[in-house]
């Protein structure tokens, strides 16, 4: 029996990179998966096709994570398509890097809308439907604990907010048997942060293991947290960064 047999998962930002790896792993573990995307329709459908080809069930929904109505609609559609929701993975996120004095109020509003507001909105809607054994898992960043360089102020602020949210929500939902956890990846080789980019020369020497992680590494931790094996873990911030923050 697969660990997530008969479970239903919603993964925001699941069309590429870490989100795609999470979607595929949860499906491989037996979950029916709904994944959202903002612009990458072709990539989202490719992830769905891969899941279906391997015997799973999946659906891609266009839902910009900065749009509250789209997020609540994605939760509703997940329930209507698959009969409920057991796992919410808040993966969608953006990065805005620039000198601090060049920041605009629009920059602030945009990054908070996607990196913080969307997590709150999706969790609030999902919590109304999750049953005992439900899971809320958010993808943050190891930069919440280590501002690696300049020009990361907005990003580190937004990711740090997720720590407090996770702890508070774990207290709120614990009596219902719902766990809430935060996964904080370090450098991961994706099309947004390739291991062969110029930035990698700065990052790699700081990684204890000496290499970038893979989306599958993050997906493995998420699958564990979503499973019954992790029933006694909640309110935790779990850093998975190859020792970058060691």
- Contact between 232 and 196 (Cβ < 8 Å): no
3-state secondary structure the chain: CCCCCCCEEEECCCCCHHHHHHHHHHHHCCCEEEEEECCCHHHHHHHHHHHHHCCCCEEEEECCCCCHHHHHHHHHHHHHHHCCCCEEEECCCCCCCCCHHHCCHHHHHHHHHHHHHHHHHHHHHHHCCCCCCCEEEEECCHHHCCCCCCCCHHHHHHHHHHHHHHHHHHHHHHHHCCEEEEEEECCECCCCCCCCCCCHHHHHHHCCCCCCECHHHHHHHHHHHHCHHHCCCCCCEEEECCCCCC
How far, in Å, CA of 140 to CA of 163, rounded? 8
Residue of 108, 155, 212, 232 with catalytic role: 155
Q: Is 155 a catalytic residue?
A: yes
Catalytic residues: 155
């Amino acid at each position: 029996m697969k660990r997530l047999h008969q479970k239903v998962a919603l993964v925001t930002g699941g069309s590429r990179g870490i989100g795609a790896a999470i979607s595929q792993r949860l499906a491989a573990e037996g979950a029916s998966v709904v994944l959202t995307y903002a612009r990458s329709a072709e990539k989202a459908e490719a992830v769905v096709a891969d899941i279906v080809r391997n015997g799973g069930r999946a659906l891609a929904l266009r839902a910009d994570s900065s749009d509250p109505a789209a997020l609540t609609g994605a939760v509703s559609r997940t329930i209507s398509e698959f009969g409920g929701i057991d796992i919410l993975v808040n993966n969608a996120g953006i990065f805005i890097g620039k000198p601090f004095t060049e920041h605009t109020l629009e920059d602030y509003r945009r990054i908070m809308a996607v990196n913080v507001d969307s997590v709150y909105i999706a969790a609030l809607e999902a919590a109304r439907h999750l049953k005992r054994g439900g899971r809320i898992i958010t993808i943050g960043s190891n930069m919440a604990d280590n501002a690696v360089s300049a020009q990361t102020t907005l990003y580190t602020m937004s990711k740090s907010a997720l720590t407090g949210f996770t702890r508070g929500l774990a207290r709120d939902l614990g009596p219902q048997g719902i766990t809430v956890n935060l996964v904080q990846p370090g450098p991961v080789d994706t099309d947004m942060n390739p291991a062969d980019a110029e930035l990698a020369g700065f990052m790699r020497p700081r990684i204890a293991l000496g290499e970038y992680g893979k989306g599958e590494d993050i997906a493995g931790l998420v699958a564990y947290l979503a499973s019954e094996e992790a029933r006694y873990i909640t309110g935790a911030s779990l850093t998975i960064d190859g020792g970058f923050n060691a």
